[in-house]
Structure 1
Amino acid sequence: MSLISKEDFTSLSLFNSDVCVSVFIPTQRAGKDVLEGKNQRHLKSQWKEVKTKLEKTGHSKDKIEKIGVHFQKLIDDNNFWRHQSDGLAVFAAENAFEYYTLPVNFEAYHYIGKEFYLKPLVPMFSGKGKFFILEIQPKKVSFYEATNYSITQIDIEDLAPEKLQDRVGYDFEEKHLNHKGSINTQHGYAPATRERKDEFLRFFRAVDQGIDKIIHHETVPLVVSCEDYLFPIYQEANTYDHLYDKCVPGNPNDNQHILELHAKAVEQLQPHFDKQKEEKMKEFNEQPPEMTSTKITDIIPSIYEGKVDTLFLENREDIFGTFNEEKMSVEVQDGQTGDNISLMNLAAKKVIEQGGSVFLIESAFMPEKESKMNALLRFNY
């Protein structure tokens, strides 16, 4: 399940029209705010502001209404609003409307231009974000390949036992439910006695041998989702060098939504992902001056020449102006106009297109704080 794919991102980045509207809002997953329609009101408020701006800049009533119909239809879709994550990104034009529910706490923001504004999305496609999730319990084993913003189930039916019973050769649940007084009443299983530990160990070793056929040559984290008391047993059975040292706690079950499992795994791995960003920042600070750049008039031409490995953009800031690709010239201007673009948005989209990394950094932590855009150049350009 891809929350937003690289293909989606590319399609949005190439889209152009007279009016392109990009809206980002934070959303609540559940609770009183959801029941009372706070998320819907938030989007409605953003569209109201966009509509006012479009009217003031002289866009036709017909064009505004065509875009507004898309927003109103989404606002009125009560079923949609009952299944939210942490943020919503909406991209609308006269003949286009796309929206993505994402595990990202966006700040409320809208952008009107001749292109979509994708800067808030670029960290989703940066760094080595791939990892695996092994969801394991006595009656179910599931395996997933994931990134920060996508998750796909991998079929391991022919490689590993689907449940404990397949490995230990008898009805495990019935046997252990008969041990009165020693049952974990929350999950229906007794604590891990020596006999039970040995049985789980046999089961986990069989699972480990099965998924090893898929991940043997991988170097990315494997996150295990299981009950806390089972994780030390799985660690003993594991042979994969990159097993993450903390599990996603809880009792996975058929009712747990795949997006919830994904969100918990990403949260658990956050220190790992932060380390990648910190390593790139350290690399920027340690490189000689010719391997870095802090002038936007130099950085954007370098990006188009394929020279930029990593881009650091100051969060909550923007730079507007024009870029002439034929002349490789950049003109920085004060504020947004109808004739210029966000140069940060342009730079970020191009770096992602080329397979580089883009990080949004708070101003106090930018590698070079005097510049809103820093670039780490490639060694082999």
Structure 2
Amino acid sequence: MESLFNLDLQPLLNHQSDLCISIYLPTYKGGAETQQNFIRFKNLIQKVEKTLSDRSLREAEVNALLKPAYELLDDRENYFWEHQDLGLGVFLSPNFWQTYRLPISFEEVAIVSEHFYVKPLVRFINLNQPFYLLALSQNEVRLFKANRREIKGMELGDIPGSLAEALRYDDPEKQLQFHSGSGGNDNQPIYHGHGVGTTDNKNDIRRYCQAIDNGLMSLLPVDQHLPLMLAGVDYLISMYQDLSSYPNLLKEAIIGNPERLLPQQLHEQALPILEKDLHQKQEQSIQNYQNKKGTSETSDRLSTILRAAYNGQIDTLMLLENEQQWGQFDPNHYELDIHSQRTHHSDELLNLAAIQTLQQGGQVYLMDENNLPHNSPAAAIFRYPIVSF
């Protein structure tokens, strides 16, 4: 079972086979109703068996392919089916097997295709997006990596642990006054210097913030696309935001002295801010689409969207959540064939667009029909103007 903190779509996005099996089902977390988890999964496996038989696979081939699923059905000793969350995703292919226990519910789905059906996971991935939390005070710096469900402390690396530490290394000649703190760590020096708001103090704090930013940028060279949230008092947050070079620093912060807050308390205050930021980004994407609608920077044509997705040209893709479009797309010749009915050779085209967009760093949002900005199952904002086709 994959950890929620380390949930990585890349293995699913990158995998391709003639037989990629994707199963989603809602699950119960406790009580007698957990028996439904086993029954639902068994019924979906039977649907997959029929699909594979219809594809002319022999019984021995079906049994070999579905062996991990059969073993999961028989796993009653470990109480797998009694320890679920709200939804379960199961992905199976020759030499591939992965299950995800997730805190969101799904409609029952069993799909056999050339790609894993990842579109239902997009909402969870957006909600569960990892983020960094930097808790700042003059006496203490703490850095965390978190998502919706978990928070973990990180080593600071070259980030100074306090104002005193930053200035001690920055200017050995500077005269600082210390005394032992009466808080959580008796050995932690507390910086007195000049009063808050004086010119010298502002300069000291500015140097402190710059040292933190330099250390942070050095510590996180790869993950700077993840949001960074701040926690601290107003003046410190404001100063840090003014000079920070982190590219995805959230404007809204946890305001107040974070020194006495436990990681879980910081986490609880962070989640509403993160959800608000996600909602604002989604609303901004809708507005951006409306502003650019009818230009070469947007499209709601599925053929154009699929071609742009394969070429890495999509910045933001918005999909109708409960819609499916079956067909085939040839990325070599950019030929699209939409099927009136699903066949054994059909791909779910919205899922295909999502896979290619996510693989190349684009953002994907699932929306209901009231929020999607056009009368189409898909709408895209491109990274730059492209020629329509």
Normalised by the length of structure 1, the TM-score is: 0.69
Deviations 1:104-142 (A, max 9, x none): 523233232133111122356679x67431357999863
1:55–1:253 Cα change, 3 Å: same
Match for residue 348 of structure 2 among 342, 350, 357: 342
Identity %: 23
Aligned to 2:46: 52
Q: CA RMSD in A?
A: 4.6
Quote the Cα distance in structure 2 between the aligned partners of 1:282 and 1:364: 14
CA drift of 1:355 comes to 1.6
1:66 and 1:94 in contact (8 A); partners too: no
* 2:73 corresponds to 1:72: yes
Structure 2 segments unaligned to the other structure (5+ residues): 165-176, 187-195, 219-223, 242-248
Quote the Cα distance in structure 2 between the aligned partners of 1:327 and 1:219: 33
Q: Which moved more, 1:341-350 or 1:58-67?
A: 58-67
CA drift of 1:87 comes to 4.5
1:20–1:154 Cα change, 3 Å: same
Quote the Cα distance in structure 1 between the aligned partners of 2:39 and 2:300: 37
1:48–1:12 Cα change, 3 Å: same
Aligned to 1:111: 110
Letter in 1 for 2:352: L
Residue 9 of structure 2: SS of its match in structure 1? Answer: helix
**Map 1:1-381 → 2, pairs under 5 A:** 3-4=5-6, 8-25=8-25, 34-36=29-31, 38=33, 40-41=34-35, 43-57=37-51, 58=53, 60=59, 62-63=63-64, 65-72=66-73, 77-78=78-79, 87-102=87-102, 105-114=104-113, 115-123=115-123, 131-134=131-134, 142-145=142-145, 153-156=153-156, 159-161=159-161, 169-170=179-180, 172-173=182-183, 211-215=212-216, 222-224=228-230, 234-238=233-237, 239-241=239-241, 244-247=251-254, 252-253=261-262, 256=264, 265-291=270-296, 292-368=298-374, 370-381=375-386
CA drift of 1:306 comes to 3.5
CA drift of 1:294 comes to 1.8
Residue 240 of structure 2: SS of its match in structure 1? Answer: coil
Letter in 2 for 1:16: Q
Deviations 1:194-247 (A, max 9, x none): xxxx9xx99xx698576333357989864356xxxxx5xx22333221565453
Letter in 2 for 1:12: L
1:295 and 1:374 in contact (8 A); partners too: yes
Normalised by the length of structure 2, the TM-score is: 0.68
Residue 98 of structure 2: SS of its match in structure 1? Answer: strand
Residue 97 of structure 1: SS of its match in structure 2? Answer: strand
1:134–1:52 Cα change, 3 Å: same
Residue 289 of structure 1: SS of its match in structure 2? Answer: coil
1:265–1:106 Cα change, 3 Å: farther
Residue 97 of structure 2: SS of its match in structure 1? Answer: strand
Quote the Cα distance in structure 2 between the aligned partners of 1:350 and 1:126: 17
CA drift of 1:293 comes to 1.8
1:123 and 1:360 in contact (8 A); partners too: yes
Residue 105 of structure 2: SS of its match in structure 1? Answer: coil
Deviations 1:132-174 (A, max 9, x none): 313579998631245779977432266344899xx96325149
Quote the Cα distance in structure 2 between the aligned partners of 1:175 and 1:120: 46
Structure 1 segments unaligned to the other structure (5+ residues): 28-32, 177-197, 226-230
Length, aligned pairs only: 335
Deviations 1:40-61 (A, max 9, x none): 5454233222222133332525
Quote the Cα distance in structure 2 between the aligned partners of 1:336 and 1:261: 48
CA drift of 1:315 comes to 0.8
2:317 and 2:380 in contact (8 A); partners too: yes
Quote the Cα distance in structure 2 between the aligned partners of 1:306 and 1:293: 15
CA drift of 1:14 comes to 2.8
CA drift of 1:308 comes to 2.8
CA drift of 1:365 comes to 1.2
CA drift of 1:362 comes to 0.5
1:312–1:74 Cα change, 3 Å: farther
Aligned to 1:193: none
Aligned to 1:228: none
Letter in 1 for 2:67: K
1:73–1:98 Cα change, 3 Å: farther
Quote the Cα distance in structure 1 between the aligned partners of 2:228 and 2:312: 32
Quote the Cα distance in structure 2 between the aligned partners of 1:334 and 1:55: 24
Letter in 2 for 1:169: H
Q: Which moved more, 1:147-156 or 1:106-115?
A: 147-156
Q: Which has the higher helix share?
A: 1
CA drift of 1:284 comes to 1.2
